Each structure stands twice: as structure tokens, then as C-alpha cells.
Structure 1
Amino acid sequence: MANSAGSRKRARQAEKRRQHNASLRSMVRTYIKKVVTAIDSGDQAAANAALKVAQPIMDASVNKGIFSKSKVARTKSRLNARIKALV
């Protein structure tokens, strides 16, 4: 456990930040799951709509440092490829 006042404060801030980041990460994963669910149901229009909603949220998570840029790009690419394969 932290001993000095400054290190105790730093530990409190780190925990608060960790919980906030976990919440944002969970939210992004939920939006991705909505797209995957629409793809699995075979509804291309719903999958496109879900991806259109999820993309800006995924991009914002990159700017906030929640996910790396390459991970989000890879995920978007794979989801888009799966949607196009539904035809």
C-alpha cells in the first residue's frame, strides 16, 4: 500500500481511471457484439446499421487510448468483410 500522501492520491486516481476505462472498453465490446449478432442472424441491413453506429464509438476509443488503432482497424475490417459476405 502507498505510504506518502502523493502516492495514495496517485493510487486513487489510477483506480478511478481503471474503472472508467473498463466501462468504456465494455461499451465498445457490446456494440461489436450487436454487429456480430446481426451478422449471425443473416440480416445484412441490420448488420450495416449496427456497424454504422459502432464505428464512431470504436474510433473514439482509439483516441481515448482504450484500444490500439490497429486493433480497431482490424476489427472494423473483419466485421465489414463478414457483412459483405452475407449477400
Structure 2
Amino acid sequence: MAHTLSANKRIRQSEKKKLRNKAYKSKMRTVVKKFYTAADTNDVETAEKAYMEAVKIVSKVGQKGVIHESQASRRVSRLTLKLNAVKSA
């Protein structure tokens, strides 16, 4: 256990940040899963709506530093590829 005030403060701050990041990641996973579900059923309209929401959340999570910017970009790219495949099918 930490003894100094600054160490205790860092522990409190990191706990808050951990909970916040966990919520962001959970939200991101949920919207991405919703998109893939819509895409797998070949429902283009629902997939497009879910895509817009997923891209928004993934980009925001990347900007906030919860996931790396490159990972966010890669995820958006994969979502786009899947959406284009659904549209062309």
C-alpha cells in the first residue's frame, strides 16, 4: 500500500481512469457487435446506421487514448470493408 499523499492520489486517479476506459471500451464493443450483426443479416439500412454510430464511437475512443489511434483507424477500416461487402452483395 502506498504511503505518500501523491502515491495515494495516483492510485485514486488511475482507478477512476480505469473505470472510465472500461465503460468506453464496453460501449465500443457493443456498437461494433451491433454493426456486425446487422451486416451478417444483409440488412443494408440498419448496417449503415450502425456503421455511422460505430465509426463515431471508435474514433472517439481512439482520440481519448483508450485505444491507440492506429488501432482505431484499423477498426474503422475493417468496418468500412464489411459495409462495402454488404452493399455490393
TM-based fold match above 0.5: yes
- The answer for unaligned runs of 5 or more in structure 1 is none
Q: Distance in 1 between matches of 2:33 and 2:64?
A: 21
Residue 36 (str. 1) matches residue 69 (str. 2): no
SS in structure 2 of the partner of residue 85 of structure 1: helix
Give the TM-score taking structure 1 as reference length.
Answer: 0.90
- % of aligned pairs identical? 34
| Cα drift, residue 69 of structure 1 | 1.5
Residue deviations 1:33-69 (CA, integer Å, cap 9, x gap): 1111101111122111101112122111111101112
Q: Which consecutive segments of 4 or more residues in structure 1 shift more than 2 A?
A: none
Aligned twin of 1:22? 22
Give the TM-score taking structure 2 as reference length.
Answer: 0.88
Q: Distance in 1 between matches of 2:78 and 2:63?
A: 20
Q: Distance in 2 between matches of 1:80 and 1:6?
A: 45
Aligned twin of 2:72? 72
CA RMSD of aligned residues (A): 1.2
- The number of aligned residues is 87
